[in-house]
Amino acid sequence: MTALETDLLKTRAYIDGRWVDADSGATFPVVDPASGETIAEVPRMGAAETRRAIEAAQRALPAWKHRTAKERARILRRLGDLMMERCDDLAALLVREQGKPLAEAKAEIAYAASFYEWFGEEAKRLDGGVIPRPLPDRRIVILKEAIGVTAGITPWNFPSAMPTRKSAPALAVGCTMVLKPAEQTPLSALAVAALAEEAGVPAGVFSIVTGDAADAPAIGGEMTSNPIVRKLGFTGSTEVGKLLMAQCAGQVKKVSLELGGNAPFIVFDDADLDEAVAGALMCKFRNSGQTCISANRFLVQDGIYDDFVAAFTEAVSKLQVADGFTEGAQVGPLIDAPAVAKVERHVANALESGAELLLGGSRIEGQFFQPSVLTGVTMDMAMSCEETFGPVAGINRFATEAEAVRIANDTPYGLSAYFYTRDLGRTWRVSEALEYGIVGINTGFVSSEVAPFGGMKESGIGREGSSYGVDDWVELKYLAMGGI
C-alpha cells in the first residue's frame, strides 16, 4: 500500500475549519527521503495566512474554553481513537514523508494518539485551590485557566507525535492552537487535522499553517509578534529555539521549548552486558539516530569496555538498512541531504582527530548511511559536541564514576542521559549528579505520555506529557476576596 491512496493525504493547509491554498497559490514539494520522489505539493504560506489562522483561533476560543472539560475530553478521546483506527494509513503516510521503518511509524502513531486520551483525562482533573486565609476577613482562591490562543512549531523527526504532544494539552485545557509543522513532514500533521475535524474539534480551534523552509521566519514572526498569541510551544534546534524565545520576549509570551540534546550513554563495569547492548541499539538507532534523546556519546568503563564494544559492534553489524516499507527494516534513510552531509562531517572529523572506525562510516546510496561504530571518540570531537542525528555511535572509555559524571555533564545541553549499572548506591548517586531532565536507568527507552519529557540547561523550558505537562498550558489566577 502506498500512502498516496489514503483519503488522509491532504495537500492543502487547514485554517478555520477549511482546507485552503496559499494566497499566492504557491506550493512546495514533500519528498520521500528513501526514494527522492515528490509525494505531494502543499501550500507555501506566510504571515497573512498565519494571521488569519490566529484570528480564527481567537474567535473560537471563548466557546471552546467554556465547554466542560468532559466535553473537550470526549472529542479528544474520539480523535485519539480515530488515529488508532486509521493507524495503518497514518503510519504509511509517515513512512513516506519521514522514512522511518513502518513498525516504528506505527509505534509513533500510538504514542501520538495517546496524548489526546491522556490530556483529555487530565483536564477533567484540573482543579484549583483554596489557601488558608492570612487575615480573618480574607479568602484566597486559585483558579487554573487556559492560557488562550497558542502557537506550535514542530520538527520533522516525529511528524505525528510532536503536533499531538503540543496540541493535546493545549486543547484539553481549553486553549486554541495554530501549528506549523516542519517543511519536510507536513502531511502527518494535516492528517491529524483531518481526523480532528472528523472527531468534532470546532473550526478555528486547531489550525495548520504550512510553509517551506524559507517561509518559516515569516510564519514564526507572525506567531511571535501577534499580541493575540499568548504562548508558543516549539520543538526543534536550540538555535531556532533561542531565536523564537528572543522574539517572544518582546511581548513576554510564554514559551515551552524542547530543544537539542547531547545524550551520554554510560555503561558501568557492573552493567548487565546484554541489556546494555540492547538499550544502546534502541537508543542510538531508533529513527536512524534522529531523535533529540538519541544516545550521542557512549562512555564505557574500562572493565567492561572490550566486551561491550565487541558485542555492540556485532549487534550493529546485523541491523537491516532498508526503506521503511521493507519487512524487517531497522534503519531507514536520513531526512535530507544536509543531514547526510552532517553525519559525514562528524565521521570525517573524528577519524582525522584519531578515532578508530570499527564498522560502517559511509553513505550507502541516496540518503542511507551505514550503521557505524567508532571508538576513541573524545569529547573535543564534533561528534561529541553536536548532535550527530544519524546512525553513528561514537564510543569513549572512562575509569571512574566521577569521571563519567563529569564528562556527561560537560555540555550546555541537558535533555536525556542513560546509564547501566546494577549497583543501588551508584544508581542514586549518578541519577542525582546528572544534570538532565530525563535519566534512563538500565533502559534506553524513556518516552511515554504519562511521564514529563523535557530538558535542563539549553535543552529547553517546560515539560510535555504527564500531569505536569498540563501546567505549561494554564495560568494561575489568584482571587483575593476581602470583606467577608
Positions marked active-site: 258
Query: Which of 184, 375 has the CB closer to ligand ADP?
Result: 184
Q: Which of 35, 225, 237, 349 binds ligand ADP (CB under 6 A)?
A: 237
Strand partners, 391: none
Residue whose CB is less far from ligand ADP, 215 or 401: 215
- 3-state class (DSSP) for residue 67: coil
Output the smallest distance, CB 416 to ligand ADP, in A: 16
Q: For residue 259, give the nearest of 212, 231, 290, 293 by alpha carbon.
A: 293
Residue 122 or 464 with smaller CB distance to ligand ADP: 464
Q: How far is the CB of 382 from ligand ADP (least distance, A)?
A: 16
- Looking at the chain, how many residues does it have? 484
In whole angstroms, how close is the CB of 346 to ligand ADP at the nearest point? 15
The residue type of 303 is: G
Q: How far is the CB of 208 from ligand ADP (least distance, A)?
A: 12
CB closer to ligand ADP out of 236 and 371: 236
Footprint of ligand ADP on 155-174 (CB under 6 A) = 155
Distance separating alpha carbons of residues 132 and 61, to the nearest angstrom: 33
To the nearest 5 percent, what fractions of the chain are helix, strand and coil? Answer: 40, 25, 35
User: What SS3 state is found at 140?
Assistant: strand
Instruction: In angstroms, give the least distance from the CB of 412 to ligand ADP.
Output: 16
Shortest distance (Å) from residue 217 CB to ligand ADP: 4
Query: Could you tell me which stretch among 239-247, 262-270, 420-428, 458-466 binds ligand ADP (CB under 6 A)?
Result: 239-247
CB-wise, 154 or 313, nearer to ligand ADP? 154
Interacting stretch for ligand ADP, rule CB under 6 A, among 49-57, 121-129, 237-245, 326-334? Answer: 237-245
φ, ψ of residue 391 to 5 degrees: the values are: -85, 55
Q: Which residue has its beta carbon closest to ligand ADP? A: 220
* Side-chain half-sphere CA neighbours of 139 within 13 A: 6
Does 458 sit near ligand ADP (CB under 6 A)?
no
Within 8 A by CB and 6+ apart from 53, the residues are 15, 16, 178, 207, 209
Among residues 103, 110, 216, 456, which is the contact residue for ligand ADP, using CB under 6 A?
A: 216
Interface pick for ligand ADP out of 40, 61, 91, 153 (rule CB under 6 A)? 153
Query: Quick one: which of 183, 258, 323, 464 contacts ligand ADP (CB under 6 A)?
Result: 183
Sheet (strand 129-131) strand order: 129-131, 139-146, 474-481
Residue 182 makes contact with ligand ADP by CB under 6 A? yes
Among 204, 220, 360, 394, binds ligand ADP (CB under 6 A): 220
Question: Cell numbers 513532514 correspond to what residue?
Answer: 185
Query: Under a CB-based contact definition with an 8 Å cutoff, are residues 285 and 370 in contact?
Result: no
> Looking at beta carbons only, is 71 or 239 nearer to ligand ADP?
239
Binding-site member from 43, 236, 390, 460 for ligand ADP (CB under 6 A): 236
Backbone angles phi, psi at 99, to 5 degrees: 100, -10
What is the three-class DSSP state of 112?
helix
Decide if residue 243 touches ligand ADP (CB under 6 A). Answer: yes
- Residue showing cell 564510543: 395
| DSSP SS3 for 276 | helix
